[in-house]
Amino acid sequence: MFRYILNRFVSVVLTLWVIATITFILMHAVPGGPFSTEKNVPQAVLNNLNAKYHLNWPIHKQYVHYLKGILSWDFGPSFRYRDRTVNDIIRDGFPVSAILGGVSLTISILVGVSAGVISALRKNKWPDYLAMFLAVVGYSVPNFIMATLLIFFFSYKLHWFPSSLWGRWDQVILPAISLAGLPTAFIARMVRTTMLEALAQDYVQVAWAKGMNARVVVLRHALRNALLPVITYLGPLTAAILTGSFVIETIFAIPGIGRDFVQSIGNRDYTMIMGLTVFYSILLVSANFIVDVLYSIVDPRIKVVGGGRLNMSVSTSELFRPAGKTDVAQDRFVRPPTTYWKDAWFRLKKNRLALTGLIIIAIVILIAIFGPIFSPYSYDAQKLVENNQPPSAKHPFGTDNLGRDLMTRTFYGARISLSVGFLASLIALGIGVPYGAVSGYFGGYVDNIMMRIVEVLYGLPFQLYVILLTVVLGTGLQNVFIAIGLVYWLDMARIVRAEVLSLKEREFVLAARTMGVSPWRIVFRHLVPNAIGPIIVTITLMIPQAIFTEAFLSFIGLGVNAPMASWGALASDGYPAIRVAPWQLLFPAGAISITMLAFNFLGDGLRDALDPWMRR
């Protein structure tokens, strides 16, 4: 155990060094300097400012000074806030963010676990359907959309809770619920799956047969083991809550470090950006480290093996048993033999939610292609005399503050948002598939080195670095999907590697080796085509993530440039007018949510349809 903890600690230190280095490189790659936006400032004054903040030093001296500051917990002065350091800003804002995050974390665990348990105990009944539908909805609605809708209904319409500021208990409710939506949905789905597996185990069945109290069976036997994956998720859950607080704190005007980070980007406050990025990364990497160590302690099936690695301790008698007559009888064909893809299509057609998602996606794509063409208005045509008009026969979605037809802009936004989703996924596909396939096939030192790189990069907070890449590359459609694709390829690489590891010992690969086929031809002509099922599922689930990230970037002002319209940019433009013209927010928000919901339905259906274990 000590060796494992030591190895994980070394990995944490290495990850933090990589994060600090990448952040330093990205900030120095931004065109111009922190004072380049200042107007009518004499050159002598700029020289004095550069000297004061050591910006005239050689780059290697700045890097060493930067690392020394991190080691001494001194992130330097703020470029924009006079007489305040980054440490002062963290000291003032972190307690607020910690309270918000703690309340959100508590809501996520309590509601998610409860919903998952009830859903598993009432499988295929209305509580199960209701809980899983709400989970999918929570998984599909971005937190900033949920925040704006909660403000609209519970603050402006019902007047139950305040819409902004911080200090009273009732000012925590709406932002905490907004921040907890996605993690709660994920935990509920995870707990349902693990509870169903636990309830089917022999020890639980024996407990039921002995007539034990239902509460004891569920809480002490089934739930206790079903919660182990939730412990694993605590690290990513912390990351989701902390990075989600960027936009939530901005919407609710909460004085936390998330809002400070967003403001520092607009102010080009480089020391604050670097300091807050490193501070967030320390929190996230430390949370993952604690979760890994805790998981190795609480799960009795995990043992530490040579090299300080974790291994599941399961005897082969638990994995393999002789096939009895009952098993043989169950192996008979229940329908005529068919191909893999025909069988997958047969199972997909039986999934009504997946087909519904496919139909919605097809409709959205058609609207994105033909909607702006057949609309009588242009997406950028302004008519100020018709500004802020409600939905009518002339303007079915109403107009915005510049008199532009909102339906046309929503249709055009579908074109932009879908383009970002597909193109970013293609970039992730082009990087992740070759990387994972090469790592899985060659194995040994090649695999160890390549996967250590992936593990280190996995320690980076994704949304944080998408923001930084966007700052470096600049706003605009092309830079947005490049920034997203360069960050989201890691999941694809790990999935493809796992699939290649299971395929490379199959007979067709051994036959290709025997015939003298080159390793590269085996990888890209034999292994990758046979891993196409998981790749398709991953792309289907990656597209809504990219759409969400683009909407998130546009909402905080780092997305496409005006007058171009993406759904996130439309939601951002509509939020200030939510009281007087709520349709400006509701239509793009509904478009984002429905599209993400459809992709999630389709992704879940494809995952089940392409799973070879489902071929029964």
Do 254 and 300 fall into the same domain?
no
Per-residue pLDDT, averaged over 585-598, amounts to: 86
Q: What per-residue confidence (pLDDT) applies to 315? A: 40
Do 26 and 119 fall into the same domain?
no
Do 362 and 274 fall into the same domain?
no
This prediction has a pTM of: 0.74
Question: Are 308 and 4 a contacting pair, CB within 8 Å?
Answer: yes
Q: What per-residue confidence (pLDDT) applies to 614? A: 46
Better-predicted residue by pLDDT, 462 or 77: 77
Confidence of residue 113 (pLDDT cuts 50, 70, 90): confident
What share of the chain in percent tops pLDDT 90? 1
Q: What per-residue confidence (pLDDT) applies to 335? A: 53
Dihedral of the CA atoms 51, 57, 59, 64 (nearest 10)?
-100
Percent helix, strand, coil in the chain, to 5, is 75, 0, 25
Query: For residue 146, what are the contacts with CB-CB under 8 A and spacing of at least 6?
Result: 177, 178, 181
Which of 284-298, 425-439, 488-502 tops mean pLDDT?
425-439
Per-residue pLDDT, averaged over 335-350, amounts to: 68
> Read out DSSP for 368-428?
HHHHHHH-SS-TT---GGGTTPPS-SSSTT-B-TT--BHHHHHHHHHHHHHHHHHHHHHHH
Question: Are 135 and 209 a contacting pair, CB within 8 Å?
Answer: no
| pLDDT at residue 172 is higher than 60 | yes
Do 297 and 353 fall into the same domain?
no
Total domains in the chain come to 3
| pLDDT at residue 264 is higher than 60 | yes
Last residue of a domain, one of 233, 266, 299: 266
Residue 420 within any structural domain of the chain: yes
Which range has the worst mean pLDDT, 2-11, 201-210, 309-318? 309-318
Per-residue pLDDT, averaged over 473-488, amounts to: 76
Do 541 and 483 fall into the same domain?
yes
Do 75 and 101 fall into the same domain?
no
- State the DSSP code for 77: B
Which range has the worst mean pLDDT, 92-106, 239-253, 321-335, 583-597? 321-335
Quote the CA–CA distance of 533 and 610 in Å, as a whole number.
6
Residue 423 within any structural domain of the chain: yes
Q: What per-residue confidence (pLDDT) applies to 365? A: 92
Better-predicted residue by pLDDT, 366 or 287: 366
H-run or E-run covering 607: helix 583-609
Question: What are the beta bridge partners of residue 303?
Answer: 311
Classify the phi-psi angles of 73: left when phi > 0, otherwise alpha if psi is within -120 to 50, otherwise beta: left
Do 208 and 149 fall into the same domain?
yes
Q: What mean pLDDT value characterizes the chain?
A: 78
Prior bond of 534 cis (ω within 30°): no
Residue 504 within any structural domain of the chain: yes
Question: Are 436 and 493 a contacting pair, CB within 8 Å?
Answer: yes
Domain CATH number, residue 111: 1.10.3720.10
| pLDDT at residue 222 is higher than 80 | no
Residue 262 within any structural domain of the chain: yes
Residue 378 within any structural domain of the chain: no
**pLDDT tens-digit map of 239-255:** 667 666 777 888 888 88
Do 24 and 98 fall into the same domain?
no
Domain hosting residue 298, numbered range: 1-79+268-321
Do 135 and 187 fall into the same domain?
yes
- Reading the block at residue 126, the tokens are 């209305």
Question: Are 107 and 180 a contacting pair, CB within 8 Å?
Answer: yes
Q: What per-residue confidence (pLDDT) applies to 472? A: 73
Do 262 and 273 fall into the same domain?
no
Query: For residue 408, what are the contacts with CB-CB under 8 A and spacing of at least 6?
Result: 371, 372, 375, 377, 378, 379
Quote the CA–CA distance of 448 and 440 in Å, as a whole number.
10
**pLDDT tens-digit map of 544-581:** 888 878 877 777 777 777 777 888 888 888 888 888 88
Question: Are 158 and 170 a contacting pair, CB within 8 Å?
Answer: no
- Reading the block at residue 475, the tokens are 């706003």
Which of 86-95, 130-139, 237-246 tops mean pLDDT?
86-95
Per-residue pLDDT, averaged over 47-64, amounts to: 80
Q: What per-residue confidence (pLDDT) applies to 31? A: 66
Quote the CA–CA distance of 254 and 97 in Å, as a whole number.
8
| pLDDT at residue 304 is higher than 60 | no
Instruction: Please write down the HEC assignment for all residues of 525-580.
Output: HHHHHHCHHHHHHHHHHHHHHHHHHHHHHHHCCCCCCCCCCCHHHHHHHHHHHCCC
Per-residue pLDDT, averaged over 279-293, amounts to: 75
| pLDDT at residue 333 is higher than 60 | no
Do 6 and 101 fall into the same domain?
no
Do 172 and 298 fall into the same domain?
no
Residue 332 within any structural domain of the chain: no
Per-residue pLDDT, averaged over 597-605, amounts to: 80
Q: What per-residue confidence (pLDDT) applies to 362? A: 92
What share of the chain in percent tops pLDDT 70? 84
Query: For residue 168, what are the contacts with CB-CB under 8 A and spacing of at least 6?
Result: 162
Helix (H, G, I), strand (E, B) or coil at 306: coil
Quote the CA–CA distance of 602 and 285 in Å, as a whole number.
33
| pLDDT at residue 307 is higher than 70 | no
Residue 340 within any structural domain of the chain: no
Residue 169 within any structural domain of the chain: yes
Per-residue pLDDT, averaged over 12-34, amounts to: 77
